[in-house]
Copies of this chain bind each other. A is one copy, B any other.
Amino acid sequence: MATIRDVANRAQVSTATVSAVVNDSAYVSPELRTRVLAAINDLNYAPSQAARSLKRGRSQLIALVVADLANPFFARLVWAAEAAVAAWGYSLVLFNSDEKPENERRILARIRALSCDGIILVPVDVVTAQPQRDSEGEQIPTVLFGRTVEGQKTDTITIDNISAARQVTNYLMDLGHVRIGTITGPLHLTTGRGRLDGMLEAMRARGLEPAPNHVRAGEFREDTAYSVARELLTQAEPPTALYVANGVMALGVMRALADLGLKCPDDISIASTDTIPGIGGLRPRLTRTEHPVIDMTNEALRLLVDRINRGTSVDARNVVFQPSLVVGESCAPLRNLGK
């Protein structure tokens, strides 16, 4: 394609003038401006982003690193982030760490090489505690999304996991349930840990405690939750209600129920924190918390762009969003206590 020099030649001006027109960075007389614009149009010129990045040290690229692209929660984040990034005039480079620290390391190196202007990161590992530095040794502006890492000094966007779990658990207890089980996420993640803690806290506040064999790890995965749920529900004294820590796992649990011939909510009540898009279309409607992913994403980008423009002059900000309980038909009052 045409270069800035081709345009300059055709318009009989210098490359500096063309640049000034393209970037609106200096006054150019109307006459020259017209000539330049005509030449740009004739030659179908578009500035090379590579040359620009090299000179300016900014790439107009924002990296999004998610922990599990197969999870609809993150798919939704990707969707929202693409829109927000485009709205701010950047382009989105997408990476999937697949919950593996070594992938995360590789990806962060690649992001540095691409000199991305900012990073939205769903962290997998504490590795991230060593923030990424760019070509000037500056830290690349980063927003941690959804999860946090201890002792982090970067901006973060999170959901109040404890509150989410507490809301759901209280709802179940309000229905009279006492034998409540749970399928948790990985406990080394704040999302996994917080949701379990919130549940325990809520139960203890009413003098209850889940039976040890009613608390199982589901890894935030559909298939794991499926088998764990089967196991959990076929034991001698199964729980009468189940709190599932995320949307994907809730789907797995529903599948397990169907395969076991259990009716929800007649045989067991199910409620979850987090949901997956589209799940609202199926019956019984799941009682769950909804997390404002779109708002969270927009806020993440606002913080990120602000940090890109203002550098490290401003302190790390931690924005916590509140989940809201959405009541469906997947929970019923406890009737026959003994069962």
Query: Which residues of A are in contact with B by a Cβ distance under 8 Å?
Result: 1, 3, 44, 46-51, 53-54, 59, 61, 69-70, 72, 75, 78-79, 82-83, 86, 91-96, 109-110, 112-115, 133-137, 222, 226, 248, 251-252, 254-255, 258, 276-283
Contacts and interface: CB of A to CB of B under 8 A. Distances in A.
A222 B50 contact: no
Nearest to A61: B93
Contacts of A54: 48, 50-51, 54
Contacts of A72: 72, 75, 277-278
A137 B248 CA distance: 47
A211 to B, nearest CB: 26
Number of chain copies forming the complex = 2
Contact of A248 (B70, B136, B278): B278
Nearest to A81: B94
9 contacts: A1-B112, A3-B135, A44-B133, A49-B114, A49-B115, A50-B54, A69-B78, A75-B78, A91-B114
Contacts of A69: 78-79, 82
B92 A50 contact: no
B79 A48 contact: no
